[in-house]
Every structure is written in structure tokens, then in C-alpha cells.
Structure 1
């Protein structure tokens, strides 16, 4: 049996602390999410060590006793603290979540109890779905991946040990390489599936399993042990401090933290090293001991704290929330984890399994009630319900794209949707990202009133720029834009209205244009500037007139949910941008338009309509946005006459 290694508890601390600080938004830990991958390698090593040790020491072990003993340990290790976190989170959810959020929370409760939350969150990871900051159980995806792995792996290990022991290590090595190859292949094609699903993640656990099976020879040189462990720690820390949200992950980039973890574990398997002794210090070991509880508690505490604050937390507030999470973790470890891991609590297997099944049933039932009740909307006062009526559920947003008369690319639902007077010849196109689709009512009404017909082409997440691609996006924006241009040319479209959000492309999302990939605001601005200028020249070369609509201001948080929550809590929410901030946001676009060799035939601005000193997010008790930035149906009503006035000459010009 593997002896206790305090350095692995220290390694757990190295994994969990960056995860918590990353989620809390503390600067300097932009790649803290790799801590989960460190956990996977540790888990694969420890669990395989236990299972393999049993097979080695008890040659006559039966299949049933082997499996029952394993799942008894998993239940004692995982479920008591998980149940406690879910029960308290469910109580808070009833007080603070909006109906749609509580409905989705109910689904996640059921999925978590069944250890399938990773599949749920994968399905919810599309462009139109709720932001992760509003999902209190999102972090359970990693537990689900582990448990799905451990449904299969113990059986494979037993069968391999019994019937093909000579090939066991080779088979697991092949599985490791196969899963890694799948992860690398899938990263740019199916990034959400690659992140959440077990097959492309299995190699990280199997990497630890290979170490536990003593697949590598012992290191006898102290210098080599110290060097390998040091390199491992440098690899982990490099990924924590150098990776960020723009890093393509997992895939090949996950090799840095996982191989670093494996190197540290391997270096200490037979003899100790300086890194092992450092990781075994009392403070790190302590955080390693509470790491599971800390991982469980920190995320819902952060989510609910942000919701209660009705805004992002300050650094001081985030630090306080982290401290509260640590306190809860200590309590959970001492009074929940430790007692249940001691087999004197619920000593009978039958009793343990009965209580576990009963608890799962009860918690799952509550989740089902939340789903069937649609999140108990009756909890809200009437004005809260009015605001929430302007929200659009993710499924409804996706349904809007079903209007496409033809698909730009066969595998994607996006294409031209008819707008305006359907009896007139179509000569006008509105082209943009998801904001174009959100403004369908405005442009449809505008063209219809003028007796004109056109199409609206919306590709969510893709800026309306010919020749530009977005790095690691779910669709090829460049391919889409090429198809849009071909459609305009082949269908005799003479006028185009360009609509986009732009702030992501200018400040957050990395893009590629003519072989140049952006990596900071300067290069992002360069790509959009050169891309738009190229697009405008392309319009001119094809005798296409174009108008350019400046983006709406948006808000700092989801407007319907946050304002309704503020009504429920009885506190104001200050989520508006100032007019000054909004105009500063527009400045790069102003410069791009002014410096273009081909100027727009019309510019649409909504500043005066939506902004005084601040840019309003509600009017007359209605929300102007259906989330944090997409115009709501009510905003469309307000915008229609304004846009009509500014586009009058453009639309009437021959």
C-alpha cells in the first residue's frame, strides 16, 4: 500500500489555491484554472495506488468486494461534504436566484446528484446560454468527470490485472496517448466538449495512473530527483501565472501543468527531494487537507456574493469571500469530511449506502421541484416580473436563427432571414453578429414601412468583417464572412447595414487577419481597423453602399436578472455605464471610420437616445436589454424611429 506522502497534500494546496484566487479575480493568477488539471493527475495517482495495492496484497479479492470497497471509500470521501454544500447552496438559491436561474439551478442539482453535471454544462455552454458567474454548481463538472472515469477504470484495472498483467501498463499508456490525441484534435473543433467531457480529459487521470503502476524506473540520483521536481514546480507555476482566458485550453497546453505534476510525484516516489520537503511544510499540507472542501465551497460562495452585491466584487470584498470560503472549508473538513472518512460513522455498508441513496433522492427531488415550478416566479413582486419579461431565454434566442432561408455553411444554422416587405425585391442586407439578430424588429419594421425588402444575416460571436477569423471560436468567422460576401454579390444586394458589438473584438477576443493574430488591445484594434477598411473597400469594389451602426452601450451586468434581483432584495443596482465611459469605448471605432479610405454612406448613433450623464438600462419599468448587452424588444420599439431618421437618405438613395 502506498505510504502517506505529505508532499502530495502540499501539491493539492498548489492546485486549489490558484483555482480559488483565479475565480475570485485576484490579479496574478490568470491561469489558476489549471489547478483542476493538477488535481486530476493527483487523483489518478492516488486512486490507482490504492486499487493496485489491493490487487497486489489480496490476490483472492472478489469482484464484488473490490468494487464495494472502492465505492464505499468514494462515498465517504466525496459525498458528505458535497451534500452539505448543496443543501446550504439550495437554501441560499431560494432567497436570491431569479426564476430562470432557479430553474437552471434545479437542473444542475439533479445532474450533480447523478454525477452528470459536466454533460449538462457542456450542453449549456453555447453562445446564448447563461454566464458561468450565475451557476452556483458549475464547479461540480470536475467531480463528474472523475466519477465517470472511476465507473470504468477500476473494472478495467481489475480485468487487466487478472487476465493480461503483462500488457496492463502498455494498455493504459495507449489509452493515455489516445485520450491526449483526442483532446488536441478536439480543442479547436469542439472546445466546450473538449473541456467538459470525460474522454478528452481521461489522459490527465491516466497519467497519474501510469505513475502508480511504477511504469518508470526509480530515480537514484539526488541531483536528478531535485532537478526533475524543480522543473515540475516551474511548469505548474508557469501555467498558473502565464496562461489566461485567451489560452487555448485544454489540449496540448494542458501538458505543462499535468507533466509538471507528474514530475513532482515521480521524483518523490522512491526518495525525497528538496521540493518534496518544501511541499510537505505544515501550512501547505493544511491547505491540502482542506483542499476538497475549499474547492467545493469557494465557488457557490463567490457566485452568491456577487449576486447579492448586484455587481462585481472589489478586491477587498473578494479577499473577504475567499477568507469565508477557507473558514467554511475548515469547518467542513473537521466536522463533515473527517468524521465520515472514519469508518466508525455509519460503519455498516448497508446503512451507508441506504443513507447515501436517501440523501441523493431527497436532494434530487428538490431540484426536480425547482424545474417543474419554473423557479417559483411567484416569489417576485409585479415590477420584478415586468422587468424579467424583457429577458429572453437561451433556447428562444437560438430559435431566432431558424428563420434562415438558406445556410451559409451546411453544418451551421446561420444564414439570411427575410425582413421588410416580402413582396418587394430584396436589395438591402443587415449584416452583423448577434446584435444584428437582436435588432431584427427595428430593421424589419423600418424596411416594411418604406416598402422595401431585405435580409438580415447574423452570425453570433463573429464581427461583420470580410477575411477576419476569431481564434478558437465555435464557427469559422472567416468562412462565414466569405459566404456572406458571395451571397451579397450573387443576390444583387446593393446596400448593407453593418451591425456589431465590437467591444469584444477590440478588447477581449483574439482574431486573425491576413495571418496576423492579435494578443493585446493594440493588435486587436489593428486587426479590426485593417479588417473593416478591407471590408469597406470590398463593398466599394462591388458597388455596394453601406451604413455603419455604432453599438449600444450595454450594462455591467445582466439587466433583467440584476434589476429584478435588486427589487427582490430591496436595494438599488448601479450597473449603468457613464456616457463618458461609453464614448471612450466608441473612440477606437470613430478612429477606424475616420481613417478609412472608403467612408460609410451613413452612420447610426444611439448615444442621445440612450444616454444622459449615464446610459440608461431601463425605461418606464422595462428593460432595454434582454441580457447585459443585446437590445430587448422594448429597446427595438424605441430605436425604430431614431434609426429611421438617420437612415432615411441612405435607404431612399438610388
Structure 2
């Protein structure tokens, strides 16, 4: 069937909307993420169009030809981007709390499963962690690839039986309706899965296919006189989505606006007309159609370039903002002209024979995935960052082995240390490994990021954190013996990183202190008492770490020549000790109250070791004490280990 230039122009609108939204350019398109929904509708239409003339093929040949064209269209450029992301990540992005999630997303993207990795993460599409993941945008490709597993079968039924059986016409609309209903429910009950997964998005792609079915069989014909009005109405609906779509209620109901508008635009642009409207002429223009042809490569490259600039130089400098679109356009054009187009349109034996092309693409996927996996497991081999020295920068579990100076003490026989908390419990892993080695005791860790235990600054988080907290407490109650120690480790200070320090230290610190209001502190006391009461009934001793210093900027993000100019580093890596003491005064008062109420509770205060002078620094003699604004480094762990070991020994010797 003939190519319709205006559809390429519509692709240009979609991809530019997404790019403008992600670049946060003047907040022009707060709903620009709905450009993805435009892509879904366009894809459903175009795929249906390409399959329409293949109804005379056998089912096997039909499927083989479909997947040959899809593989050659999607795989080459995607593999190039995924491999580039893996290499650049290893070279320039420090290994941190995001690394594992990023690597999992990237490796899953090779097999069209990255949307599951993102849906099962705790963060939304609009959260800071996804903005630092160079593979976040691949979720849309995963949705389309999963759609391609189902759609050809449904469409084949329509192609073969549409003239004989009404059910052939009903099958796709019924599936689309079921998907829409599921989307309504899922948006309320599980918004992450609704956003990322195919079942709640199927209706968007199917709507484009249904439109083609109606147009191709002449069941939908727009009179020429109404075409400009339909086109204008479609753009009005799409514009409404681009400006007003609410991310908290997506895909339902806001995707309906964009999907409906895109369907109207498609219905209008496919009609032949001798007097095109200004909107139609714009969509058919050479610049718009060229950008549309580049749209796949633009989409693939725009996000990782944005993420890597955010990791390194930052995006605030005007020169970087000017360079960003130039870099993306250059990469996209090179990818389109030298990779995407030659491999999709060539006439070699490999490209013309379906099974050869499919097998070659699958082999390329396997080889690329293996290479990316090796890079993700050995980033230090390629890293240009000082943070590649994991011994200094990161707290990790050490292999079990004999200690250089083991402590033999009868009071340690059969003892267990249970560790319970959020990511700050995980930040003690090196220290805990040294404890296990030197004392010869069993260390059992219960940690869940974002799920503070006895935070002392607010009520402990609810929802999934409540379940994790109860599971950990039940395990401790079942396994702990009288006299064992439970170490509660969590963030117990208002975070300083990410605040607007340009307004002055006093203003920002007063805001942080205001967060510690009586209502929050009362909730913090109740949460701590609930946990301590259960542990007291289990007849264990409890050790809690007093609030440690925290800093205005993350050290690991600012450790190298290629990221030191990032505006995130501007607040610096020192804070006055009296400011820390002021910030932690309410928590220290609450700790004093709790130690009087619960005799088995002891407090370990690392502050004197981490901040011996009047100014606290994230560095000690050039070595990082903290890897970011508040998590200990490997070096910080080793500095604190002797003190922590002595506290444990004192506790067990008193109970012997």
C-alpha cells in the first residue's frame, strides 16, 4: 500500500513531544510523555497496513515474513544503543545504589522485558531513579515487542475469515475493550504495572489496527469537506494530552484523550485531498517527514544522552543545553542512515530470507547480551572514575575467611547479630563482614531500601514496608536467643542533598528542622516503641546507631574531572558540626527517652569518629567517609569497625 508522508510527520510530533518533555525545556509540554501513546496508535495502524496484503500467504510464511521485517526494523539500532549504554555506563557512571537496577533493565531490554524490570521496581516513571537509568525508555519497545507476539495471530484470523465470520471482526475489538477495562482497574490498584505493562496498553495499539481495518474495507470514509475539521479536532485532543495529562492517572483516563486525537488525525491524513489544510501541509513538509523517519533512532538516543549528561556535566549549563539536541540529532542521523536503513531495506541473502534474517538477529542479540552482561559484572575494567576503587568507595560483603586478629572470648560463643533497617543497614556491609570475621559470630541481615526502622524523624513507612518489617521481626523472634543483639540501622536525619542551597545555609537548615515537627516526632516515637516492644518480648538486646553526619552533595557523583563541574556538586562536602548537632537534637532527646523506657536498648554514636572537629567532611585525608550524601563508604566502614566491635563485646560481656 502507498506510503503516507503525513504519518511520518505525525511521528515527528510524537517524538519531539517526548524529547521536549524529557529535556524539561521550559516546562512547555508537561504531558509530553503522551507522545508515546501517539506512537502506540501509529504503530498499530502501520503494522496492520503492512500485513494487509499478505493474506494469501500460509500461516508459517506470514509469521516468518512478519518477524523478519520486525527484527530488521528494531534489532540493529537497538543493539547499537544498548551496547553503547553499557560501555558508557561502565566508563563514566559510578557504581552506586542505582547500578543493579540499571543493569537489570538494560539486560532485560535485549529480550523485550525491560518494562517488567521497571514495573517491579518501587519507583515511578517520573521518579529521580528512573531519570538516572539510561534504559528507562526501552519500556515502550518492550510493550510493542510483546504486542507483536499476540497481534499477528489475531490479525491473521481477521485477514482469512473477515468475509465469512463476524467473530473475525469482533476478536480484536473485544480484546481492546478487555484491555481498556483492565487499564481502568489497574491504574487505580497498581499504577506502575498499568503504566509499564502490555495488558493495560494493548487497547492503544489495537485502536490503530482497528482504524486501519475500517478504512481498508471502506467501512469508514471521511467526506473531504469534514477532513480539515477532523484533523483540527484530533490535534486539539492531542494538544490537550500534551499540556494537561496527569501522570498520577495514567494510562486511564488521560490516555483516552491522546489515543482519540491520534485516531482522528490518522483518519484525516489518509484521505486523499486536492486542497490540504495548513496542518496537513505541515505534516507533509520535508522537515517533518524527515524527522518522522528519524523518529525511531531519535527516540533510542535521546534518553541515554540526556541521562549521561545528567550523570556527568549536569544539564543546567546553557552550553550543555545547546549541545544536547545537536548530539542527539547527529547520533540519530548516523544510526538511521548507516545502520537502520541499510539493514532494513537491503536485498542481500541474509535480509531476504526470513529464517536466515531471524536467526542472525537472534544470534546478534545473544552475543550482544553476553557482552553487556560481562561489562555489567566487570565495570571496574573499563571505568574512568576514581570510584572504581570499590575497596575505598563502596560497602560490600567480604568473603568469609579467618581474621588477621580474631577475638577469642567465651561470651561470644553461639551469639548472633541481627541487622534490621533500610539502605543504611546495607551501607554497613563491610563493617558487618569484619564483625563476623573477628568475632566469629553469625550475622543475619534484614534490609530493605526506603523502609526505615525506628527512624526517629517520622512514623516508619507503611505499605510494603510494613510487610517487610513484620517478616523481619517474625524471623528475629523465631531465631534469636536471649542475649542476642539486634542492630537497628536506618537514616535518622532529614536529608541535606538535593536541597536548594543557593538560598543560604540558614534558610535551608531551618526548613529541614521544621520537618521535625511535634506530630512527626510523636509518630516516630510510636513506631520506635512498637518495634522495641516486640524485641523486648523476644528477650534480645538492641543496639541503635545515633544520627551520623550527612552532606549537601553526593561524593561519588563529583569525584572525577568529567563530573566535578556538575551543579549538583556546588554545595560542597563539608558541614559545620554544630549544624549537625542542631539537626539531630530532637532524635537524640528521643533516644534518651527510649533508653530509659527500654533497659535492653543501647546507643552507639559514630559522630565523634566521623566528625572529630568543628567541621564535618565527607572526606578524611582524601579518602571518602561517605559514598553519597549519607551512606557510608567502604573506608568509612573500616574506620568505624573497631568501635562497633567494642560496643558489641561490651554488651555481650555484661550478659555473660
State the TM-score, normalized to the length of structure 2.
0.67
CA distance in 2, matches of 1:321, 1:607: 45
Report if the CA contact (8 A) 1:469-1:476 is conserved. no
2:141 to 135, 140, 143: 143
What residue number does 1:288 align with?
Answer: 292
SS of residue paired to 1:213: helix
SS of residue paired to 1:500: coil
CA distance in 2, matches of 1:104, 1:536: 33
What residue number does 2:521 align with?
Answer: 532
CA distance in 1, matches of 2:416, 2:359: 64
What residue number does 1:320 align with?
Answer: 323
Listed as ranges, the gaps of 5+ residues in structure 2 are: 400-410, 500-509, 537-541, 596-602
CA distance in 1, matches of 2:612, 2:35: 43
TM-aligned CA distance change 1:527 to 1:178, over 3 Å: farther
Listed as ranges, the gaps of 5+ residues in structure 1 are: 400-419, 509-520
TM-aligned CA distance change 1:305 to 1:489, over 3 Å: closer
**Which stretch has the larger CA shift, 627-636 or 217-226?**
217-226
CA distance in 2, matches of 1:87, 1:440: 31
Q: Give the CA deviation at 1:43.
A: 0.8
What residue number does 2:49 align with?
Answer: 49
Aligned pairs (5 A) from 1:135-534: 136-163=134-161, 165-187=165-187, 193-214=193-214, 221=226, 225=230, 228-239=233-244, 243=247, 247=248, 249-250=250-251, 252-266=253-267, 268=269, 270=271, 276-306=280-310, 309=313, 314-341=317-344, 343=345, 345-346=347-348, 349-350=351-352, 354=356, 357-358=359-360, 361-362=363-364, 364-369=366-371, 371-372=373-374, 374-375=377-378, 377-378=380-381, 386-387=389-390, 390-391=393-394, 432-439=421-428, 458-464=447-453, 475-477=463-465, 499-500=490-491, 530-534=519-523
What residue number does 1:20 align with?
Answer: 19
Specify the structure having the higher radius of gyration (Cα): 2
Write the deviation string for residues 100-150 of structure 1: whole angstroms up to 9, x where unpaired.
9999998777654544444566677789xx955665444333223212211
CA distance in 2, matches of 1:93, 1:293: 20
Structure 2 residue 547 is matched with structure 1 residue 550:
yes
Q: Give the CA deviation at 1:42.
A: 1.6
Write the deviation string for residues 597-635 of structure 1: whole angstroms up to 9, x where unpaired.
x97778968498359898644546755346664324542
Number of residue pairs aligned between Structure 1 and Structure 2: 597
TM-aligned CA distance change 1:37 to 1:503, over 3 Å: farther
CA distance in 1, matches of 2:252, 2:413: 48
TM-aligned CA distance change 1:228 to 1:140, over 3 Å: same
CA distance in 1, matches of 2:608, 2:524: 25
CA distance in 2, matches of 1:585, 1:324: 43
Report if the CA contact (8 A) 1:98-1:375 is conserved. no
CA distance in 2, matches of 1:526, 1:470: 16
**Which stretch has the larger CA shift, 59-68 or 100-109?**
100-109
TM-aligned CA distance change 1:274 to 1:80, over 3 Å: same
SS of residue paired to 1:301: helix
Write the deviation string for residues 362-413 of structure 1: whole angstroms up to 9, x where unpaired.
56425424535742745569976543565357xx79x9xxxxxxxxxxxxxx
CA distance in 2, matches of 1:558, 1:504: 14
TM-aligned CA distance change 1:345 to 1:96, over 3 Å: farther
TM-aligned CA distance change 1:623 to 1:125, over 3 Å: farther
CA distance in 2, matches of 1:480, 1:103: 20
Report if the CA contact (8 A) 2:351-2:357 is conserved. no
CA distance in 1, matches of 2:445, 2:340: 56
SS of residue paired to 1:214: helix
CA distance in 2, matches of 1:193, 1:96: 31
Q: Give the CA deviation at 1:432.
A: 4.7
Write the deviation string for residues 572-598 of structure 1: whole angstroms up to 9, x where unpaired.
9995853677999979966976999x9
TM-aligned CA distance change 1:279 to 1:235, over 3 Å: farther
Q: Give the CA deviation at 1:4.
A: 0.8
Aligned pairs (5 A) from 1:560-575: 563=559, 566=560, 575=569
Report if the CA contact (8 A) 2:552-2:573 is conserved. no
1:578 to 569, 572, 576: 572
Report if the CA contact (8 A) 1:433-1:462 is conserved. yes
Structure 2 residue 63 is matched with structure 1 residue 67:
yes
CA distance in 2, matches of 1:105, 1:579: 26
Report if the CA contact (8 A) 1:593-1:600 is conserved. no
Report if the CA contact (8 A) 2:420-2:453 is conserved. yes
Q: Give the CA deviation at 1:16.
A: 1.6
TM-align CA RMSD: 6.0
State the TM-score, normalized to the length of structure 1.
0.67
**Which stretch has the larger CA shift, 462-471 or 296-305?**
462-471
CA distance in 2, matches of 1:580, 1:346: 62
SS of residue paired to 2:214: coil
**Which stretch has the larger CA shift, 141-150 or 351-360?**
351-360
Q: Give the CA deviation at 1:292.
A: 1.0
SS of residue paired to 1:199: helix
CA distance in 1, matches of 2:282, 2:265: 12
Report if the CA contact (8 A) 1:85-1:297 is conserved. yes
TM-aligned CA distance change 1:443 to 1:282, over 3 Å: same
